[in-house]
Structure 1
Amino acid sequence: MATIVMEKIGRLFITLQQLRQAPRLLSGAAPSMPGTLRDSEVPRFFRERHIHSGYRPLHQPWRYYLLSLFRRHNETLNVWTHLLGALLVLVLTGRLAETVDFAGDPHAWPLLVLLLSSLAYMSLSATAHLLAGRSEFCHFAFFFLDYVGVAQYQYGSAAAHFYYAAEEDWLRRVGPVFMPAAALLCCLSCLGCCYGKYRNHSLPPWVRKVGQVVPSSLAYAWDTSPVFHRALTRAWWADPALTFHLGQVGFFLSSAFFFTQPLPERCLPGRCDFVGQGHQLFHALLVLCTLCQIHASHLDYASRRPLYARLHGDGEARFVLGLYVATAIACALIAGFMAGRVRRLLERRDRSK
């Protein structure tokens, strides 16, 4: 009996020793992280207008930036707005898959393209805001990937609108050229955004904005033209899907306003460093736009099948899917090319020091 008691006491002592070491083990696994910095403590390239604090230090281990997902800094909400949006789209995709045959029904592929492109742009945006602060090259490279995601979403929007939302008379006039033109505009949008970022500090801010906003605006106007045509020719109040289509237009235009205007931080400099930035509002409104768009496209998929099945053959659905893959590859090549230019530029600059 004494032996058994001594063994239990020994096990208890070992357990207590392990518990005493737990804080040390946890601190080794997740070491204390450097605090955030003021704008005057980081290179000018990383400073955002009217944001005075909350900057993460550069050149830290990757683990630092990954763990900063759960820390307070001026990019925290920019990450979480699109990360939560991506999770919502992922859950929504799983629910739709219970009733939509994405694998066996070619007519469902444009809806799948919209879902995949929505998931891509939100995930790449969250990744860019989380990791781009590590170095100047990382800043360029991750935001170039972000622009690839934006271009994919533009194509996904065009595909869903073209396939499900368009009216027959519109398709007769524009249908043959719509998707190739949409793919071209996506690539131009990606190129314009990447080049604007590349020339970030060698051009006036308004010139950079024009280079980024104009191609994206042209792409949006083209991609949404089936919705505008339908709204002008049908009673939107009698069409539930069209109501959500108009909702996504409203959310998108609102988000575009906050993308181009640094509000409210311009009116409250230094007070929106963590919450209240215009870019955070841009993210949130764009997520609402996407959710409205997915819901509207699903309603069209379910209710307008006799129309689009007659207007679009199986071959056209395959073309839309194949062009999506080709457009994504083209945009990735554009981003890779621009990242190569950035790397060479930074190497020349470092050698000249």
Structure 2
Amino acid sequence: MLTIKLPQLFRVHQMPRVFWEDGIMTGYRHPKSSALDCLLSSFQMTNETVNIWTHFLPTWYFLWRFLLLSYTLDFFGDSYNWPLLVYMMLICLYPFTSSVAHTFSSMSTHARHICYFLDYGALSLYSLGCAFTYGAYVMPDRWVSGALHQYFVPVAAFNTFICTGLSCYSRFLEVERPGLSKVLRTAAFVHPFVFDNIPLVYRLLFCFGVDCTWNEAIPLHIYHLIFALLTGFLFASHLPERLAPGRFDYFGHSHQLFHVCAVLGTHFQLEAVLCDHSSRKDWLATYSQADTLSSTLGVVATSVIGNIILICFFTATLLWSPHANSILQGHIPGDSKTKGH
């Protein structure tokens, strides 16, 4: 009979410091796992298993929605749909990249950082996808074709470089200055979120009268914002595991809840965007300038290339800079340094 031996799991103090998670005491995979061990661990209950599946399964849901939309919308011939096309590609990319990062992050200390560099880059690009759709379909009536509308997407593209650069840099501070690392990483993702949602917040709080669009998308936008705020709170607080270390190692810790809230928020955001996309089409076609190839795919290509360059820079720094040694230090289970544990 064919049997598969699942990888051994470890406790937190058996792991290099860079692998430690606040309030998570058990269920760690070997920090030098093989690629096969990483794949097998996704079918074994570890402290990463739910993280992997809560983003891998939604990837297929968003791909399915993308496929359905491709049957009803002309994504290539109609420039009105180009921002939605960019958004759909990027909401499929970010959960898939996150799932891959969580799967293979235990191959080594180097691999862990590189996996999350890629994860941060995908999240940064997702923020650009949000800006595309918000600029195209969500912008308040009175702001359409105004200064903010014209520069909204280019600024959002620049924000992706800030987000990726700051979040990747924060990993170099993780061991020696964990508090500052967390602040920088949180700021890296809050910044593009706040910018992207300026039109929506104005539309919800300050826009009244005949030149404001109150339609069935508004409740969906509100649901999205609620889940987005919950996502940020869970990411920053490490609750509930911080209150009861070891109790939520496998189920219910903040990163799992963070993933679930992020996906639900994206779901409601997608529904709201689709609602505005269809209900405002005639009005926007009259009062808004049509998107050009350079203002959509050109901006996306520039952002993707720029983010890849940033990730390559931080990866090279990680691999070859002597100043990066501090975030790679730590014992390995089975090494002589661990004999006393």
Paired position in structure 1 for 2:66: 93
Could you tell me which of 96, 99, 111 is aligned with 1:138?
111
Paired position in structure 1 for 2:181: 208
The two structures have a TM-score, normalised by structure 2, of 0.90
CA contact (8 A) 1:83 1:126 kept: yes
Paired position in structure 2 for 1:184: 158
1:306 Cα offset (Å): 1.4
Could you tell me which of 23, 26, 34 is aligned with 1:53?
26
Aligned residues: 324
Could you tell me which of 44, 52, 60 is aligned with 1:79?
52
Paired position in structure 1 for 2:171: 197
Structure 1 residues 157 and 196: CA distance shift in structure 2, 3 A: same
Unaligned runs of 5+ in 2: 330-341
Q: Distance in 2 between matches of 1:282 and 1:118?
A: 16
Structure 1 residues 346 and 69: CA distance shift in structure 2, 3 A: farther
Could you tell me which of 319, 324, 328 is aligned with 1:343?
319
1:32 Cα offset (Å): 1.1
Tell me whether 169-178 or 312-321 shows the greater mean CA deviation: 312-321
Q: Distance in 2 between matches of 1:348 and 1:89?
A: 37
The two structures have a TM-score, normalised by structure 1, of 0.87
Q: Distance in 1 between matches of 2:35 and 2:9?
A: 16
Q: Distance in 2 between matches of 1:128 and 1:186?
A: 19
Q: Could you say which structure has the higher helix fraction?
A: 1
Tell me whether 95-104 or 272-281 shows the greater mean CA deviation: 95-104
The 5-angstrom pairing of residues 294-333 of structure 1 reads 294-316=270-292, 318-333=294-309
| CA radius of gyration, larger in | 1
Paired position in structure 2 for 1:279: 255
1:346 Cα offset (Å): 6.7
The 5-angstrom pairing of residues 82-161 of structure 1 reads 82-161=55-134
Paired position in structure 2 for 1:257: 233
- The Cα offsets for residues 178-225 of structure 1, whole Å up to 9 and x where unpaired, read as 11111111110111100001221122x221122112232221111111
Structure 1 residues 316 and 58: CA distance shift in structure 2, 3 A: same
Unaligned runs of 5+ in 1: 1-22
Structure 1 residues 311 and 336: CA distance shift in structure 2, 3 A: farther
Task: Determine if the alignment matches structure 1 residue 164 to structure 2 residue 137.
Answer: yes
Paired position in structure 1 for 2:337: none
Q: Distance in 2 between matches of 1:36 and 1:237?
A: 54
1:173 Cα offset (Å): 3.6
CA contact (8 A) 1:170 1:229 kept: no
Could you tell me which of 49, 65, 70 is aligned with 2:43?
70
1:315 Cα offset (Å): 4.0
Secondary structure of the residue aligned to 2:25 is coil
Amino acid aligned to 1:288: L
1:61 Cα offset (Å): 2.0
Query: Over the residues paired in the alignment, what is the CA RMSD in angstroms?
Result: 2.2
Could you tell me which of 177, 194, 202 is aligned with 1:229?
202
1:85 Cα offset (Å): 1.4
Structure 1 residues 346 and 78: CA distance shift in structure 2, 3 A: farther
1:146 Cα offset (Å): 0.1
Paired position in structure 1 for 2:215: 239
Paired position in structure 1 for 2:332: none
Amino acid aligned to 2:48: E
Could you tell me which of 267, 270, 293 is aligned with 1:291?
267
Percent identity of equivalent pairs: 29
Secondary structure of the residue aligned to 2:243 is coil
